[in-house]
Amino acid sequence: MIPVRGFDGAVVAVLGLGRSGLTAARALTAGGAQVIGWDDGETGRAKAEAEGIVLRDLTREGAFEGVACLVTSPGIAHLYPAPHPAIAAALAAGVPVDNDIGLFFRSFATEDWDRFDVTPKVVAVTGSNGKSTTSALIHHILAEAGREAQLAGNIGRGVLDIDPAGDGGVVVLELSSYQTDLARALTPDVAVFTNLSPDHLDRHGGYGGYFAAKRRLFAEGGPDRAVIGVDEPEGLYLAGQMSEGPGDDRVIRVSSGQKLTGAGWTVFARKGFLAEWRKGRQVGAIDLREIAGLPGAHNHQNACAAYAACRTLGLGPKEIERAFRSFAGLPHRSQRIAEKGGVVYVNDSKATNVDSASKALAAFRGIRWICGGLEKEGGLEGLRAGLANVVKAYVIGREAEGFAMRLGPGVEAEVCHTMEQAVARAVAEAQPGETVLLAPAAASFDQYDSFERRGEDFAARVTAALG
């Protein structure tokens, strides 16, 4: 655990008593704070009381008298579409509002570091798609190279639940826009921006607000190195803001699909080959085509970002390549779960938006596509490029008919509603050389409580169908 510094003897309120909230409460207590908590749900309040946390309804008048800070969970709205009443009350009372990420960055460094030969580092990864895979891949590479590494944040352990860093240790954080938007302290040594596509727009007041939340990690974080995907205008803009000139190698530009030129430091993938260029010459290359855990151009972008981050930490191209080859990938992200009769079955339940689903469709040929769910803003227009690889779509979800209709006349679509029916139909009709792919292009909450549960259901149905 990372004891939270700076609140010894102070009263700190914690709003939202789920995983991150309870961990924050424990870490605050370990640092000497007096913690009070509140959760809108009875279950959260009961768990907190069982741990001895004093409850106080933070929505009541006068609740913030004597409170030094409010720590809120990332899922609770603090500005758009409207702030939670407790957050609004804290702000009105002049009480600072923070989250566990901010607490981590203010508390991670300790006096023990003065005795270390190598100062610990934090690598923070954000972006719309690929940040989980990129974070896990960086962690895997470091572990394979024998470096002390911990994975936390939006993946793995809660950020305050990790162990204090050892000599030369590295913490890899996956950070969502909800986390970067509110954190009062953001000081990574290496910051990674994968890409940007529309998501969570209601929480950020639109696309500009969403980008601004991601940008805070760089503009306010001031990392020593910035690894930035430049395949969208926002990434290109961010790289320009962080750089002092064309040859500034504090910024590493990353791309999947285009060759990057110039005097700076670049890492890009084209036609399955990763190339690293620095000061106008190539200094590294990896053939990604046969690396099973990183299929498709979107994973090649993740590989480029992870490669660049690890190069900033002193790892060589060959040891990074060896780690690539042993990377198994993450559950629910282009996860190959079965192969039978020449048909491959792939679980990409994490493809919850149009952009990530489109990239999954581009990674395979002859696709029997299971899609549908709670559709997000922006419609399905962004799927057009990948639909050429689809043999047939099997649509699930409460609004399956409407989703199927919006795919357009060029796509054969069967309305199945349930995962059970969709898998049964796809398995029955799939031919050798084809891929049965779950890449929903929609959220899961109309039928499942998480994308993980949806992916697990898909895997279980496939296993049962294949016998």
Q: From the annotation, which residues make up the binding site?
A: 127-133
Residues 154 and 200: their CA atoms lie apart, in Å, by 15
DSSP for residue 262:
S
Who's near 220: CB < 8 A, 6+ residues apart?
186
Residues 290 and 270: their CA atoms lie apart, in Å, by 14
The burial of 199, by beta-carbon neighbours within 10 Å (0-12 exposed, 13-18 middle, 19 or more buried), is given as buried
HEC assignment per residue over 136-162: HHHHHHHHHCCCCEEEEECCCECCCCC
Residues 120 and 423: their CA atoms lie apart, in Å, by 47
Q: Give the residue ranges of the annotated binding site for ATP.
A: 127-133
Q: What 3-state DSSP class applies to 98? A: strand
Closest by alpha carbon to 31, among 68, 76, 73, 75? 68
Residues 168 and 147: their CA atoms lie apart, in Å, by 8
Who's near 374: CB < 8 A, 6+ residues apart?
397, 442, 443, 444, 445, 446
Beta bridge partners of 170: 121, 149
